[in-house]
Amino acid sequence: MTGDTQTEAQTQTLIDALRDADAVQFGEFELAHGGTSEYYVDKYRFETDPDCLETVAEAFADRIDSDDKLAGVALGAVPLAAATSVVAGAPYVIARKQRKEYGTANLIEGELEEGEEVVVLEDIVTTGTSLVDAIESLREAGATVDRALVVVDREEGGRENVEDADVEMEALVTASELLADQD
């Protein structure tokens, strides 16, 4: 829960940044897992807005140690990992959900040592499938993964799926918090 690790003011700052970037949209949207929703959090809006990206990176950086290795889930969380890496001075790798079929055919891009502890960063979690796939890729590559940080938890079962993979998931903002005043 975000309330355990950040103040209400910090949560509101993140919500304001997401809204200022026009990342929270209302209507009828199809989601990646095939379901539909009356709201959508557009990761490309908040990840390409420098003020919002900086706010998210600073919030992530506050939750890690400078000696932590970060991993960004391709494609959406790569800007988050890069920005957080710069703010925190922590190195990062990119975790692919599946091996690319050309070049080096790596699942993990960047330097990763066997047994190295990695904190995975993700943009939005709905079912958690892409995050769990990335965690499995990192583990197959020899990483130790116990923790994931996400920008928005849509509270649709993703946290439970990630925790079933023995990974603690911390969200900067939950859907309940993001939509609290939208009734």
Structure tokens at 170: 């911390």
pLDDT of residue 158 exceeding 80 = yes
pTM of the full predicted structure?
A: 0.92
Return binding residues for 5-phospho-alpha-D-ribose 1-diphosphate. 96-97, 100, 122-130
CATH number of 2-179: 3.40.50.2020
Q: What is the DSSP letter of 81?
A: H
Residue 99, Cβ neighbours under 10 Å: how many?
11
Read off the pLDDT band of 5 (50, 70, 90). low
Domain boundaries, the chain: 2-179
Contact 114/139 with Cβ under 8 angstroms?
no
Return binding residues for orotate. 126, 154
Return binding residues. 96-97, 100, 122-130, 154
pLDDT of residue 121 exceeding 70 = yes
Token look-up 């047994």 returns 115
Element (H, E) at 174: strand 168-174
Instruction: Give the pLDDT score at 50.
Output: 97
